[in-house]
Structure 1
């Protein structure tokens, strides 16, 4: 807590103004004709009173007491008959200008406070706009990672399967395999460039929005991955969660499976992958496991971890829990998602 120090300029100005006012009243009352220098006292008092009220801060009742004491002294020293005249002169040449200056100071202070408030609101609006832009950029980055990254991973898987296929013509086998290998390398490089671009784009927490809801079921997603060459199967009844189509729980489950399949294709090519999606009371349980690479892995690629982190955030936003990590012979991704929750 800070202690306010007395404004010495304000005290001195108040005392001087009060003394001049008292002197002016005493010099003007009771005289039939005033010398010119006495008549000039009041025109000088008026601007002084205005400047005192305009520029000096009035803290506390001390200044008012100084003025009141000067007025009382002036009125006591004259007789009752002339007191009214002295009070009128003080009101016209001291009080009124001082009040005018004080009013002008208050208007200026209000204007300054209003300008500060407008500037503060503008800064707050800019912060809100920056936050909204950051969240939107993070949301777009997450969607691109999930959608485009998944397709690029499937392209690499399909190219890898063709590269080791025995069905290529003997005469053209070398050239064809070189071309297929080029496709796989290109898809891998495109995935890495996409991840780098998303790292620059993502500068905030992942949002809970979506560019569009998934237009395919989990069963269709698994079938598409299998047709691309991924050794994946769906364990369980596909229609067990059909009543959740289009819900937040369905979208979250779809993205969990999609990202898990992408990671399996990227980091454990040739591994057997099992997808399990089932109801457990009011929750949806999602589990994607792989048993490790069955064929020679492709070139090593460092994982930024943004996919699993984004999945964890997405599941958390719908009220669920998420876990991912190595198992005894592979890797597992698990999520428990509330089926009834529709608001993040």
Structure 2
């Protein structure tokens, strides 16, 4: 059996429509109208001066109020009360009470339900209205009241469900921001340790040259160079975020063998291939590669334990390419891995802060992470 592929643009358009709040409001209105239109024959026979056509138009107008249910949920509620009193129609009030519970919470739902019960009871006492919905108080309590309570209760449950999802989304967003911030601090520590060391060497060398050039015309130049290097180091200390108990700087490519050994001890063998040209690049770029490989090996140990991992680091033109590949497990682990889900954000922040790009994707049974960093060399 062959399937015609769906055009990506059409699929994205369908997805946007499927999750659009406005689309859901329209669907709610159409659903209410579809249920109410079943009562049109009875409404046309009743003594309410409506024909089948006019009754259908009135119900359609009433159901259209549900389009406003998110912004103005009281509007469909008032319309529903009007339809209930005029046409003895209880379908719309169910949608209205659910709407108030869903988008205004428990207090609004309780108040609206009590008002609905009071209005319905008043209508129940009028001639003609009970004839359609029962002749005794027990009929009223068994039909009219449960309709409102159930609809409002379902709406309140959906409201709480939405709150839980919103809080969970906020938690994930906060965790992602924290991961990015921690990675920025880590980058700052690496910049301070690596660049600061070079500035210190530059200042010391300039002072030595100033001593050797004493009495020479270049002595002042060397002294100014030493002062400039010291001021740059001081600015580095004052600008970058530092902690009193900060860790050591992130290792470079020489630390990858240690990561591979740790991964193998956890049961995931690592095939490591590092091009010689990559070892000649700046310590900051090497630290970024180390950070990416470290996170990838950690993720592989969590989500694909026991499967081999391939790490390839090459220099392609002006790009330093890091690729980490591991097979996807055919069956998920017995226990769900403990993960905050922020590792990808940390890797991306580290790579993009240096002008690179990061791509992580599954495909053909293999999960691949590719990081491209500019080498900083003119080729």
- Range of TM-score over shorter length: 0.3 to 0.5
TM-score, normalization: structure 1? 0.37
Bigger Rg, structure 1 or 2: 1
Q: Which structure exhibits the higher relative contact order, with contacts defined as CA atoms closer than 8 Å and separated by 6 or more residues?
A: 1
TM-score, normalization: structure 2? 0.34
